[in-house]
Homo-oligomer: A and B are copies of this chain.
Amino acid sequence: MARELASASSNSTSGTRVRRAEPPRLGRQHAIVHAFHQALRGKTEGAAPPRILIESPKLLGEALRSRLRIEAVLFTPVGWKQHGVRLGTQLSKHTSTGLVEEAVLRSAVDVETPAGLAALAQPPQVRLEDFWSDPEPTPSLVVVAAGIQDPGNLGTLLRVAEAFGAQGLVSLKGGVSLWRPKTIRASAGALFRLPALDGVEAERWLEFCRSRGARLIAATPRSGKPPEELDWRGRVSLLIGGEGAGLPRAFQRAAEAVSLPMHAQTESLNASVAGAILLYLAWRHRM
């Protein structure tokens, strides 16, 4: 797919001057449009990495500031008039651009009323080994999403993880994908900056934590210690479970349980809200 995208950008290889010219018109069957459809369905071809689907000028601005590699941008004619010139100078010569009809753009995005453009970007390259890679075990926390099914919750968790100084986020196999458009929107750009890994096996994460001397703390609705009684310094992996299934068994044995004290009438809080409170407390405690 990368080669297809590259070849479609041939009209723009000579730099920003050409970039300011109106991009070529593309039909619904064009390879670039196809790449958007694939990204929308969360599909990847061969060994290609997942793509980030960006659906608003604001989010595209965030992606550019975060130096993501933008592979393609589709504009409607109106979107091009509004945003094309300003964005054109910021896009590199490796970015394919195209003009499409409103209906084609709508078919390529997850939102009902697209804002005149959509873009595809490569996610930042992150490896498991990037976490806790400093030789000294400095205080740092990695959030682990364990079976979160709601993309809005996962996106919010990314946003609070960044806000409260987490080193990154790991999403375990079995939860919703990090690269779902709604996750990306809900993260408000945090996914472009915070090191994040998708689809990691629970056992692999457990082993990795052992090898790096990281302690596991798992949020549970009841029966854990209050967060104020735990030690959040050193290397900590904070597990936030999904709405229903709870934590993988391997973690239940290995992790210390933490529970937010709450009113008896409340059954539970949603994952992103509980995560936000714990991440805030952990951050303040590490300071």
| Interface residue ranges, A against B (CB under 8 Å) | 156, 159-160, 162-165, 188, 190, 193, 228, 260-263, 265-267, 269-270, 272-273, 276-277, 280, 284
Contact = CB atoms under 8 A, between A and B. Distances in A.
Nearest to A188: B267
Given A159-B269, A160-B269, A165 B263 contact: yes
A94 B277 CA distance: 43
A266 B159 contact: yes
Contacts of A277: 276-277, 280
A273 B156 contact: yes
B263 A156 contact: no
Contacts of A163: 260, 262-263, 266, 269
Contacts of A160: 269, 273
B276 A269 contact: yes
B276 A164 contact: no
A182 to B, nearest CB: 13
A162 B269 contact: no
Contacts of A263: 162-165
B265 A193 contact: yes
Contacts of A262: 163-164
A176 to B, nearest CB: 17
Nearest to A274: B276
Contacts of A164: 262-263
